[in-house]
Structure 1
Amino acid sequence: MIKGFIFDLDGVITDTAELHYTAWKNLADKMDWEFDRTINDKLRGISRMDSIKVILDHNNAKLNKETLVELAKEKNDIYVESLNTMTPDDYLPGIKELLTNLRIEGFNVALGSASKNALKVLEQLNATAFFDIIGDGNSVSKSKPEPDIFLYGAEKLKLQPEECIVVEDAESGIDAAKAGGFHSIGIGPEERLGHADLRFDSTKEATLFEIKSYFKDLF
């Protein structure tokens, strides 16, 4: 039986993708690196340090670890500053209603995000009360597609993976959910998330009614 839900943050609860893109673009321009939206798409769902390595690889650039850490911090500072512009109006369509209904029906809910700024984002949205557990980039050492962040959430909720549904917008996130033995819902296009157990084109379609209808044998 399904007893818990674990949500990714970016692209599921809210869309900070444009803020991330702008921050990475600012850094890339400063370093004279090529960076566009195609490269940016490859950063979906992965950690900050893994992201900068993707950008480096694309540009055939090499830097020592100390410099990489400094640049990643610089990007993060730009991004964190931009978070101050977020408000409780910045939930993606239908997500606040879904979280509210999960609360009403007594499900356990965790966040499972690679972001180390997840708490700040939730606070800007006034969303912390929807979550029993907040798992973020500070909670585990291995990021998606490893399942560690979801396993962390399930353990803290005192649930088994098969008792939880993971909601993700990234291919690496669905890979992580499957690797951990979780049920999965993908938010986004077929070509990216066709391997999820259930997929919606947008968050607006992901109602609790539709989720229960699909996983009816598990509720």
Structure 2
Amino acid sequence: MSVLRAVLFDMDGVLLKSEEAWAHVVAAAGVHFRGSPVTREEFAPTFGQGTQADTEVFRLGCSPEALDRFYTEHFPRYAQHVWVNPDARPLLETLGRRGLRRAVVTNTASTLAPALLGAGHLAELFECIACANLVPRSKPAPDLVLYALEKLGVAASEAVMVGDSRYDRGAAAAAGVRFVGLGLDGDVRIEQLGALLAHLPPWDSNAQ
């Protein structure tokens, strides 16, 4: 592997956890668009799949754009359910001091992701926030990972991606990026985000 220059992170489940908040807002979307709430049984196996898939899997009968607008309008009322990983900020600050570039790669729309990261005081620590509505296909397609690599100016061989779902692992594999699984098998597996530093390949100590 080339010298490490960048670390890409999934947002939800890695830097923060908003599944409980999303369960509420997706249930409300079901009521609004199809006349009945999306149940926990429907929601649980699909969390993190992206807005396009939400419209199809939950048979909402609306466009992804309309659903994104609904999510943006209604998510803030459930923001109290969002948990921020206490390991995230110290880790990101350390990576920055080492000259490594940092990106978020998330299936959340750009109307919501910066606000979520900002609430956790994390947004300013990233050089790139790659969101699903900025590319043709969300994870597990490679589009978001490739978008982030281009924005950071690094090659796939110079990056690693940290994620906690099969969508993350699939996107990293499709883009040719080494994958670190948080509670998930990958090229490397870690159980806590703070353990990442011990598993990173060599980085360029002269990077700017």
The TM-score by the shorter chain falls in which range? 0.7 to 0.9
Aligned match of 1:59: none
Match of 2:50 among 40, 47, 50: 47
TM-score after normalising by structure 2: 0.83
CA contact (8 A) 2:4 2:203 kept: no
Aligned match of 2:175: 180
* Cα 1:70/1:155, change in 2 over 3 Å: closer
CA contact (8 A) 2:149 2:156 kept: yes
Deviation at 1:131, TM superposition (A): 0.5
Aligned residues: 199
TM-score after normalising by structure 1: 0.79
Aligned match of 1:207: 196
CA contact (8 A) 1:145 1:176 kept: yes
* Cα 1:29/1:9, change in 2 over 3 Å: same
Q: Which SS does the other structure have where 1:32 is aligned?
A: coil
In structure 2, what is the Cα distance between the partners aligned to 1:5 and 1:49? 26
Where do 5+ consecutive residues of structure 2 fail to align?
none
Aligned match of 2:116: 121
In structure 2, what is the Cα distance between the partners aligned to 1:143 and 1:5? 19
* Cα 1:100/1:218, change in 2 over 3 Å: closer
1:1-219 matches, within 5 Å, as 1-28=3-30, 31-33=35-37, 35-36=39-40, 38-56=41-59, 63=61, 65=62, 70=66, 73-83=69-79, 85=80, 90-116=83-109, 117-188=112-183, 193-194=184-185, 196-204=186-194, 206-209=195-198, 211-212=199-200, 215=201
In structure 1, what is the Cα distance between the partners aligned to 2:38 and 2:9? 32
Where do 5+ consecutive residues of structure 1 fail to align?
57-61
70-79 vs 151-160, which deviates more?
70-79
In structure 1, what is the Cα distance between the partners aligned to 2:12 and 2:138? 14
- Percent same amino acid at aligned positions? 23
Deviation at 1:29, TM superposition (A): 5.1
CA contact (8 A) 2:28 2:37 kept: no
CA contact (8 A) 1:35 1:55 kept: no
In structure 2, what is the Cα distance between the partners aligned to 1:96 and 1:181? 27
What is the identity, as a one-letter code, of the residue corresponding to 2:173?
K
CA offset digits 1:166-204 (Å, max 9, x no partner): 11111011101001000111112xxxx32x111223434
Deviation at 1:71, TM superposition (A): 5.1
What is the identity, as a one-letter code, of the residue corresponding to 1:132?
E
* Cα 1:145/1:134, change in 2 over 3 Å: same
* Cα 1:181/1:71, change in 2 over 3 Å: closer
Deviation at 1:69, TM superposition (A): 5.2
Deviation at 1:77, TM superposition (A): 2.2
